[in-house]
Amino acid sequence: MSGATQRSAIVGARQNRYTRADCNSEVLLTGTSWIEVDLARLEQNVRTIRALLARTAETPGVIRRRTGPALIAAATKADAYGIGAGPVMRRLAHCVDFLAIYSPEQALEAAAYAPSTPIIMLMPPASIPLFELVPLARENRLHLSIHDRSDIPVLIRFARDAGIKLPVHLYLDSGMSRAGLDAVRFPSILDEALAATDLTVAGVYTHLATAESDGGFMREQIDLFDRTVEPCLDRLPPDVVIHIANSSGTLRDPSSHRDMVRIGLILWGFGAESLADAEPLIRPGEIKPVLRWRSTIAHVRDYPEGALVGYGSTARLSRRSRLALVPVGYGDGYPLLLSNRGHVTFPGRAAATGARVIGRVNMDQIVVDVTDHPAVGAGDLVEIYGADLDAPSSLPTLAAQAESHCYELLCRLSPRIERRYITFEP
């Protein structure tokens, strides 16, 4: 199977995520909820991040090889964090410098959707079949990672199969303890990679473990990286790309920006609101959420004081209440931990407090208390995840209530939910 055919097969298998499926009848079936994505906001977020990187380009005392603002590698793993790899990658292809993905499947996906953008695959290569990536490698835009000395002969064989000089990035483990080269062996493994005539060292990088929550340990990681890499600078190619920062690192510390930043969450408009013990370099609201999850009310009914609600009878009504049924649940990706915690809101209505989820989250439905929203009725619009960071249905607020993180809540959104690509109202 050719590279183009492989990529088309993967893309075809995912098409139903991005378009409404015609069931070959006169009736068009739609889901019980949908996700709206504003790709214009995504582009604006990239421009905002570019402006930050322009301001920090002359940060003194940092190890880097390029001049000018840092490049942007957009992390589009896991179906672009559940937002939809195809539309997202197609839009990002025109405004970022690299796509950062994890696996061979994601590499083929990126190649199909962004046919001219360089791709960095972060997964350790030794134990995975690389042969399917040969056609992509021959396009001279696939970069692979070195996590261990044993990766080098694997990558040399792959480069020879492709008939190319393969760009590789050495991953230094500076404290994540998730694969990567240790600092002691890094110089000798770098020398082996430099001596391999089938490889070209295109990058050196690390990954920050606590950039969101602990600036002190982040600083320790950066210092270890610098102590390890600086003695090797004279041996590195002049165009090598040094990259450290993830989204939180980009927001926290200009010294982490180096030659390139690898960012995901801030592209989607989140992260600035959750940075601990530091003022973010981009404030919440300067980057804007690019998605919202919506549904409609399926049913409304009054219940007496003392009525028990839901599986396990985990809620008892303290007053006569009006309860509404919203047809989303954990089968769609709504967290079970938002039982008796989460809130929904009603677009176009003044409802600063929203309506609280009452009882346990079900597989495909939740019950919300609309007693204080008498105008709300069956068929009315409901926002499950809102694009307003100040709303009780905002993704960061719900993630905290679910004892989780925006990353997980985005990635667990079911691919069955229709994605609609629109422009949000101002």
Domain ranges of the chain: 39-274, 291-421
Helices 151-162 and 186-195, packing angle to 10 deg: 20
Question: Is 39-274 a CATH 3.20.20.10 domain?
Answer: yes
Q: Computed from CA positions of residues 368, 374, 380, 385, in that sequence, does the dihedral angle turn out positive or negative?
A: negative
Which helix (H) or strand (E) segment is 188 a member of? helix 186-195
pLDDT for residue 3 = 52
In terms of pTM, does the model score above 0.95? Answer: no
- In this structure, are residues 264 and 283 in contact, taking their beta carbons and an 8 Å threshold? no
Task: Decide if pLDDT at 20 tops 50.
Answer: no
Our CA angle for 249, 251, 257, nearest 5°, is 55
Altogether, the residues listed in the chain come to a count of: 426
Percent of the chain with pLDDT over 70: 92
**pLDDT at position 19, please?**
44
Residue 13: the pLDDT is: 42
| SS3 readout for 262-296 | EECHHHHCCCHHHCCCCCCCCCECCECCCEEEEEE
Q: For the domain 291-421, what is the CATH code?
A: 2.40.37.10
Average pLDDT, the chain: 93
Give the whole-angstrom CA distance, residue 33 versus residue 153.
49
**Would you say the CATH fold of 291-421 matches that of 39-274?**
no
- Tens of pLDDT along 257-298? 999 999 999 999 999 999 998 999 999 999 999 999 999 999
Share above pLDDT 90 across residues of the chain, in percent, rounded to a whole number: 89
